[in-house]
Structures are given as C-alpha cells and as structure tokens.
Amino acid sequence: MMFELDQSTVYIILAGVFGMFMAWGIGANDVANAMGTSVGSKAITIKQAVFIAAIFEFAGAFLAGGHVTKTIRKGIIDSDVVAATPDLLIYGMLAALLAAGIWLLVASRRGWPVSTTHSIVGAIVGFAIAAYGLDAVNWDKVGFIVASWVVSPVLAGVLSFALFSSVQKLILNTEDPMANAKRYVPIYIFFTGFMLALVTLFKGLKHIGLELSTGESYLAAFVIGIIVMFIGKFFINRIEVNPDDDRDFHFTNVEKVFAVLMIVTACAMAFAHGSNDVANAVGPMAAVISAASEGSVAQKAALPVWVLLLGGVGIVAGLAMLGHKVIATVGKNITELTPSRGFACELSAATTVVIASGTGLPISTTHTLVGAVLGVGLARGIAALNLGVVGNIFMSWVITLPAGAFLAVMFFYTFKGMFGA
C-alpha cells in the first residue's frame, strides 16, 4: 500500500518531532544517570556535566549511533504480522515515541531514574496488543527484559560493594591514604579505561563498520587502558597536597586523586551511552520514515544523517533543561557520594555492561547504575542509604512498562482515528 505524498510527509515530520521529544527525554533521564555520580561526588559541576555530555553524548550518538538500525526494538513484535500493514506500524511507532517521551518527561520532572529502553519497549508492546492482538507480542523477549530489573542492579551492586571495599582496605583505612592513593589509583584508572573502552567497542563502534573480533577488542581496550593510566598518573602527580584541606574531611586530598578518575569515566560513559541508547529514539523514527516513504516494512532501515543529528541534539537539550532532577536523585539522594565512591559506581556499572554484552544478559544502564550506587551505600552500612528514595525508584521501574503501554494504546487509537481510512 502506498501513501499519498502529502500524508507520508506528515508522518515523517511527526516522526522527527516525536523522535526528538523522545531523545530529549533520554537526555533528561538517562544521561543524567551517566553524569549523576560525577556531579553528586562534586568531581564536576552541573555545567561541566552538560558540556561533557554535549560533546561526548552527541559524538557517540552521531558517530557511532548507527547508520542502520533495527526498526522494531529488541524483536518484541512478530515481524511477519507487521509486514502486511505498514499503515498500522506507522501509527503504532508514532504512538510509541510520543508515549515513551511523555513518560520520560513525567519521570524526569519527579527525579525518577527510569529505563528509556523499558519506556519504549512498554510503548511498543502496548500498540502491538492494540493493533494486532496478544499473539503478535514475543512474550519471551518481554520476560527477558523484565528479568533485567533484578539482574542489572544486583550484579552492579555486588561489584560496586566489592570495589569500594577494596578502596577502603587499600587506601582509605590505611596509615598513609595519600601515598596509597597515588600507588593504587593508577591501577584503578587502568581498569576504568579498559572497561569503558570495552563498553564502547562492544556497544558503540560496530555501527560504523569497525568490526573487531572479541580478541582484537580486548587488545585495543588493554592498550587504551595503559594510555589512560599514564595520562591519569601525569595529572595525579600534579595535584597539590594541602594538609589544611583535610581538617574538615579527613580524605579531601585523597578524593582529589579520585576526582581525576571521575572526569575520565564521565567522558567515556557519555560516549558509550550516546552510541547505545540513541537507538531507542531513532529506531522507531527510522521505522516510520521507511514505511512512509517506501510503503513497506523493513527489518532494518537506513538512517538518514538528519535523524542521528536530531537524536544527538535532543539528548543534549534534555540534559541541559531537566537533567538536574535525576542527577540529584542518583548523585545525592540515594547515598552521599564522594569521588572515590562515585568511581566505584561508574566502574562497576561499566563492568556489568561489558559482562552483559558478552553473555547476552538483559541490561538497563539506569538499573545498573542505581544498583551500583546502592552497593556503595551498603559498603558503608545500611544507615548510609535513604530507603524512602530507593523505594520510590523501584516503584517507578515497575510502573514504566505498563505506563508506556497504556499511553501508547491511547495515542495509537488517536492516530488511527485521525489518519486511518
């Protein structure tokens, strides 16, 4: 079925507007997660976070965000069912983008760190049920995604607990914390560079045609880790130690060493995040553009450059305009963070993403990072956690899928009524 030119143009314009709105929501919510620990630990200011994200999130989304994308995220809908009705797919994907964007706006305003992947997945499930019935949904895939609610935070929490315990044992609880910080932090920097390079190589660069084998990826990550370690060592050696700074907080000078590390992790996490999660906005956009311009449903769709550009701009705008709310939740309200604690969160979150990429475990960057923050809090004792905030976060995770689905059903019927025959 082919659409009239004017109607297909309307669909493409709406896809651009709703896709940018969804990307804005990703910026306001998900990017704030990636930056929350760095800002909360006072390693960087909120303005510096926006600046870093503007460069690295945009670079990740635009350079490595993919010139070809799967049109239906995560294989949630049976593609054979969709193929016969491109018009229903268009209404559904427009509804999914708008629904996920609105849910992310609501969550971001309330400071809830939710999963953008789950938002769009819930929305797509909702429209699929409305358009094609329950049988069109691949429920095994949905169950796998729901499993990530437990897998992601628990794995990251265990890792961050172990990592921060090692920081306490090797550095903070020793007789000369500063000397030990200068000795051990370069090793932590190596692992950070290594893991974040692996995240980027596994999840980011496959889109730009750089197909490295697993062995080559590990080797490249090892070399990058060594380089980052020497750069970090150079800056650590330039830190001026002022004994007076330690009067109010015993580890002020030690934390200066970890602050160097946090800037590295903030840049790398932003790039990896931009390259990975921009697909949540541009995938449905590509599906609409492909179906509207060609009149058929493709498994994969080529991405025009302007779509990636919209995604990158939307992400940065969202962080700049509303990101501070979720940054406050992740960086300050769950538990008090310092650069050493924030580093443990970032490295364990990145490690969890690498493990998930290698093993096919379902993962959510948001849940991973929140789990890591909880792990660091627990390493200091249960009293270090704000359990009321933690409860609200878990509740928002459970609501995300049904909220996205409900909104998408409403918008699907609205668009079908407006544009349908």
What's the confidence (pLDDT) of residue 399? 92
Q: Could you write out the DSSP letters of every residue in 44-99?
A: S-HHHHHHHHHHHHHHHHHHHS-SEEESSGGG-B-HHHHHT-HHHHHHHHHHHHHH
Q: Residue 162 and residue 338: Cα distance in Å, rounded? A: 17
Whether the full predicted model's pTM is greater than 0.95, yes or no, is no
The overall average pLDDT reported for the chain is 82
Q: What amino acid occupies position 174?
A: T
Q: Check residues 421 and 361 and name the one with the higher pLDDT.
A: 361
Kindly list the domain boundaries of the chain, sorted by start residue. Answer: 5-414
Q: Is residue 102 over pLDDT 90?
A: yes
Q: Is residue 158 over pLDDT 90?
A: yes
Token pair recorded at residue 192: 């950070």
Reported confidence tier of residue 169, pLDDT bands at 50, 70, 90? very high
Average pLDDT over every residue of 85-99? 91
Q: What digits encode the pLDDT tens for the residues 378-419?
A: 888 788 888 888 899 889 988 998 999 999 999 999 999 988
Among the residue ranges 99-103, 122-126, 297-301, the one predicted with the least confidence is 297-301
Q: Integer distance in angstroms from the first to the last C-alpha of the chain?
A: 13
The number of CA neighbours under 13 Å toward the Cβ of 404 is 28
Q: Is residue 361 over pLDDT 60?
A: yes
Reported confidence tier of residue 290, pLDDT bands at 50, 70, 90? confident
Q: What digits encode the pLDDT tens for the residues 314-358?
A: 888 998 899 888 888 888 888 888 888 888 888 888 788 777 766
Q: What digits encode the pLDDT tens for the residues 17-31?
A: 999 999 999 989 988
Reported confidence tier of residue 16, pLDDT bands at 50, 70, 90? very high
